[in-house]
């Protein structure tokens, strides 16, 4: 059975519909591609394609009390994402624009220092509850039920992520339930995630069951990341932004990916940056396997 390779260059949303530029590396039929892409929209947003490693550093102001926060991230296809913050420098709203039009917004709700809920304009809701160093989540919408658990280290970064999804997937008015389960382990050096290993079991149907493992290794520079001053809890940032491939306090310069299973594969992405006078990245060029390039721009408030 051939499987779609997804290389996403968009914001990941756990509201279940992530706009993607997909690189289909096989000859699957349109039905197969559509079916798998539908379930991957949520799954990729939750777990996939390069866990993003946003985090929060110490406030770095300009000497006048002004803290630099990334406001817009623009991709080379013209799509962009806007970020709004509360007066504590925490994310309060994320808006995604495709083809120049607002496609979705997600509002983040806090209770004290903790995130308790994320509401989407598609009437889906993700509820979070924290006990000690564990975060539980449940998500409900019209066609899916999802749950997960994050185990955090003492610095608030996830060391293990367990997520499951059951999705009602429809094609030509014929619907069936599909599921995917992922368990991920995260290794750090300081505040930077250096290895992300994920075991996957996907049940597309009773006859189509896949099991495989993906491994991602990261290298960093010594410069500030776009979200250096963000005060949103680290576990949420890691959960939400799963494809910007931006470091916690520093910027990723290389990502090596490999898959172990029925369809082994590997690739390497390398990143080069342009910085402003304050040391924050304003442009990033990605080269994938030394061939395909993409450009991302960062604008700050």
Residue 242 falls inside a structural domain: yes
| Mean pLDDT for back-to-back runs of 10 residues, the chain (301 residues) | 35 34 33 40 38 49 72 94 95 93 91 86 81 91 84 93 85 80 92 92 85 95 91 82 68 94 94 95 92 92 87
Q: Please, what is the Cα angle at 181 between 211 and 233, to 5 degrees?
A: 130
Residue 258 falls inside a structural domain: yes
Residue 16 falls inside a structural domain: no
Residue 50 falls inside a structural domain: yes
Sequence-distant (6+) residues with CB within 8 A of 197 are 184, 185, 213, 214, 215, 216
Per-residue pLDDT, 205: 77
- Short-list 105, 79, 75, CA closest to 15: 105
Residue 240 falls inside a structural domain: yes
Residue 12 falls inside a structural domain: no
Number of domains within the chain: 1
Per-residue pLDDT, 2: 42
Q: Evaluate whether 19 touches 42 at the Cβ level (below 8 Å).
A: no
* Domain range enclosing 214: 30-300
Q: What is the pLDDT of residues 88-136, one digit of tens each?
A: 999 999 999 999 999 888 899 999 989 998 877 666 788 999 999 999 9
Give the helix/strand (H/E) hosting 292: strand 292-300
Distance CA 73, CA 174 (A): 38
Residue 17 falls inside a structural domain: no
């Amino acid at each position: 059975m051939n499987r779609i390779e997804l290389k996403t260059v968009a914001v990941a949303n756990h509201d279940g519909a992530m706009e993607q530029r997909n690189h289909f590396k096989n000859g699957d039929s349109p039905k197969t591609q559509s079916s798998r892409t539908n379930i991957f929209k949520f799954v990729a947003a939750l777990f996939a394609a390069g866990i993003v490693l946003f985090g929060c550093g110490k406030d770095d102001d300009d000497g006048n009390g002004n803290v630099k926060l990334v406001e817009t991230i623009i991709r080379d296809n013209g799509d962009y994402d806007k970020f709004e913050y509360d007066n504590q420098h925490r994310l309060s709203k994320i808006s995604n624009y495709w083809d120049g039009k607002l496609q979705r917004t997600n509002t983040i709700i806090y209770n004290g220092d903790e995130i308790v809920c994320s509401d989407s304009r598609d009437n889906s809701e993700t509820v979070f509850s924290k006990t000690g160093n564990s975060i539980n989540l449940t998500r409900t919408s019209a066609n899916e039920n999802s749950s997960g658990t994050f185990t955090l280290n003492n610095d608030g970064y996830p060391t293990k992520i367990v997520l499951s999804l059951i999705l009602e997937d429809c094609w030509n008015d014929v619907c069936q339930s599909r599921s995917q389960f992922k368990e991920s382990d995260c290794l750090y050096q300081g505040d930077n995630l250096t290895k992300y290993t994920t075991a996957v079991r996907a049940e597309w149907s009773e006859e189509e069951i896949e099991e495989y493992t993906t491994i991602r290794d990261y290298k960093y520079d010594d410069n500030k990341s776009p979200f250096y001053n963000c005060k949103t809890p680290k576990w949420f940032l890691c959960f939400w932004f799963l494809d910007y491939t931006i470091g916690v306090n520093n910027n990723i310069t290389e990502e090596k990916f490999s898959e172990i299973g029925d369809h082994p594969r590997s690739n390497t992405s390398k990143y080069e940056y342009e910085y402003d006078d304050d040391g924050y990245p304003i442009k990033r060029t990605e080269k994938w396997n030394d061939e395909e390039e993409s450009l991302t721009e960062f604008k700050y408030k």
